[in-house]
């Protein structure tokens, strides 16, 4: 189409914030806002030196941008939280170069909601096909093996699948309010044994002299965020070479000095002898969702992690009308705290015919197994009445 122009951008700075914001389609997911992604770049958390080269696409009609696809050229698989070792090994077996690869996601955060950002008056299917065609052309020209859209918006996934993307299902944890009004309602959903366990865990912290404070909005200071980064860094260091320390201190400080301050919820643990926090966790919120992101502690106290990362956020969520709480990746303790397991969707395009065929064949069986596993896991939830799998 003669009136269509495709441009590739090495920074969000090359696209006006107001244009990006206009395509968010009233979805207030902070992780996909221009300002969030821009601060990742400006803080040097996301840049070529960290293996994340911003390579966003804009599609213009008559020189007016009508769509944006946030993309990154990756030199590794860190910070994605989708484990693609099998794909990497298959590429090696086929004598193919796996990296670099194109990634569409909010960097360093396994947050659902990725989609192409398209002007409301445009045909979403038509624009999606045009952007996919541009991606395919770029990948083939530059010997890129794959393009991968991770944690995609479920509605956009249906459109992208029609554009010949292959769907891969993975497991994810989620807590749902389901009409609960307060923490007592949350406790009442469990069977008697688990209610006792949770009450005992929370009481043990009180008995240890631990006090939990919550900070939001204008209570969030740069000093608090520097503390939060230190806890985040400390926690990552405990995992050695496997630690997922990706974010710089300047990114945390920038959040305290931006409009994203309104999205921050910090939980801090102190006792009578401590002038400074002994542990902190950081969550991100919008009007109806809460996301758990980072935590750390300078002390080892039983149940402290459960309190700061699960119970206090759930209590806060219920008091503020939050409908769902995504606790983040990892952890084997979520099921017993009422977090259901659900499928999240990633979509993939491979530019080697044999690899594409082999993976699509495997995905037909893998996705069925994931659904079966999710149903089995959710049947183990310690609720009075078993929750329906989602």
Please report, for the chain, the start and end positions of each structural domain, with discontinuous segments joined by +: 4-171+343-378, 178-322
Do you find a cis peptide bond into 100, omega within 30 degrees of 0?
A: yes
Share of the chain above pLDDT 70, in %: 96
Report the CATH superfamily, name and number, of domain 4-171+343-378: Gcn5-related N-acetyltransferase (GNAT) (3.40.630.30)
Closest by CA position to 313, among listed 271, 28, 194, 322: 322
pLDDT at 388: 44
pLDDT over threshold 90, residue 331:
no
- All residues at 6 or more sequence positions from 347 whose CB lies less than 8 Å from its CB, including other chains: 148, 149, 152, 157, 160, 161, 165, 166, 167, 168
Residue 300 above 50 pLDDT? yes
At residue 120, the 3 state secondary structure works out as: coil
Pick the CATH number of 178-322 from 3.30.70.600, 2.40.50.100, 3.40.50.10310, 3.40.630.30: 3.40.630.30
pLDDT in tens, 177-231: 999 999 999 999 999 999 999 999 999 999 999 999 999 999 999 999 999 999 9
pLDDT of residue 26: 61
Q: 217: helix, coil or strand?
A: helix
Our CA angle for 274, 330, 225, nearest 5°, is 40
Specify whether the CB–CB gap between 78 and 243 falls below 8 A. Answer: no
Residue 105 pLDDT more than 90?
yes
Rounded distance, CA 186 to CA 182, Å? 7
- Dist CA 34 CA 29 (whole Å): 11
Which residues, 6+ apart, have CB-to-CB distance to 308 below 8 Å?
A: 212, 267, 269, 279, 280, 281, 295, 297
CA distances from 314 to 206, 286, 310, 324 (A): 18, 14, 6, 9
What is the full DSSP assignment across 282-332? EEEE-SSEEEEEEEEESS--TTHHHIIIIIHHHHHHHHTT--EEE--S--S
Q: Which residues of 12-37 are buried (b: 16+ CB within 10 A; e: fewer)?
A: beebeeebbeebeeeeebbbbbbbbb
Q: What is the dihedral of CA 348, 353, 356, 360, to 10 degrees?
A: 130
Q: What is the pLDDT of residue 243?
A: 62
pLDDT at 289 over 60: yes
* Residue of 329, 335, 346, 343 whose CA lies nearest to 387: 335
pLDDT score of 316 more than 90 = yes
| pTM of this structure | 0.94
Length of the chain equals 390
Same fold, 4-171+343-378 and 178-322: yes
Inter-residue contact 238 to 334 (CB < 8 Å): no
How much is the mean pLDDT over the chain? 93
- Inform me whether the pLDDT recorded for 371 exceeds 80: yes
Gap between the Cα atoms of 102 and 105, Å rounded: 10
Look at 51 and 272; give whichever has higher pLDDT: 51
Tokens of 357: 């065929």
Instruction: Answer yes or no: are the C-beta atoms of 308 and 279 closer than 8 Å.
Output: yes
- Straight-line distance from the first to the last Cα atom of the chain, in angstroms, rounded to the nearest whole number: 41
Report whether the peptide linkage leading into residue 235 is cis, meaning its omega lies within 30 degrees of zero.
no
> Using an 8 Å Cβ cutoff, are 212 and 308 in contact?
yes
Give the position of tokens 């530059």. 142
- The C-alpha atoms of residue 140 and residue 352 are separated, in whole angstroms, by 9
Looking at residue 390, its pLDDT comes to 47
């Amino acid at each position: 189409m003669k009136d269509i122009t495709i441009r590739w951008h090495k920074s969000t700075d090359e696209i006006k914030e107001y244009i990006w914001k206009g395509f968010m389609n009233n979805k207030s997911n902070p992780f996909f806002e221009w300002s969030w992604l821009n601060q990742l770049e400006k803080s040097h958390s996301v840049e070529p030196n960290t293996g994340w080269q911003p390579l966003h696409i804009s599609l213009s009609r008559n020189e007016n941008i009508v769509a944006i696809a946030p993309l990154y050229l990756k030199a590794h698989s860190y910070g994605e939280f989708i484990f693609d070792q099998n794909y990497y090994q298959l590429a090696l077996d086929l004598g193919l170069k796996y990296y670099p690869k194109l990634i569409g996601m909010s960097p360093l955060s396994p947050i659902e909601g990725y989609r192409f950002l398209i002007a409301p008056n445009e045909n979403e299917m038509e624009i999606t096909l045009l952007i996919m065609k541009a991606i395919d052309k770029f990948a083939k020209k530059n010997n890129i093996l794959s393009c991968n859209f991770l944690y995609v918006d479920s509605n956009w996934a249906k459109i992208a699948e029609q554009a010949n993307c292959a769907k891969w299902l993975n497991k994810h944890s989620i807590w749902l309010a389901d009409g609960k009004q307060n923490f007592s309602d949350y406790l009442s959903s469990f069977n008697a044994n688990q209610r006792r366990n949770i009450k005992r865990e929370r009481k043990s912290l009180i008995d240890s002299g631990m006090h939990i404070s919550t900070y939001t909005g204008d209570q969030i200071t740069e000093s608090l965020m520097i503390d939060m980064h230190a806890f985040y860094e400390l926690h990552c260091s405990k995992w050695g070479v496997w630690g997922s320390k990706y974010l710089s201190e300047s990114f945390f400080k920038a959040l305290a000095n931006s409009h994203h301050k309104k999205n921050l919820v910090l939980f801090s643990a102190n006792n009578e002898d401590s002038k400074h926090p002994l542990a902190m966790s950081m969550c991100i919120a919008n009007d109806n969702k809460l996301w758990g992101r980072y935590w750390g502690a300078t002390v080892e106290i039983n149940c402290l992690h459960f309190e700061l990362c699960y119970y206090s956020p759930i209590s806060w969520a219920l008091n503020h009308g939050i409908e769902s709480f995504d606790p983040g990746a990892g952890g084997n303790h979520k099921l017993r705290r009422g977090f259901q397991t659900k499928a999240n969707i990633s979509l993939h395009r491979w530019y080697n015919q044999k690899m594409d065929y082999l993976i699509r064949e495997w995905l037909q069986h893998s996705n069925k197994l994931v659904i079966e596993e999710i149903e089995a896991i959710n049947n183990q939830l310690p609720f009075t009445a078993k929750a329906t799998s989602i």
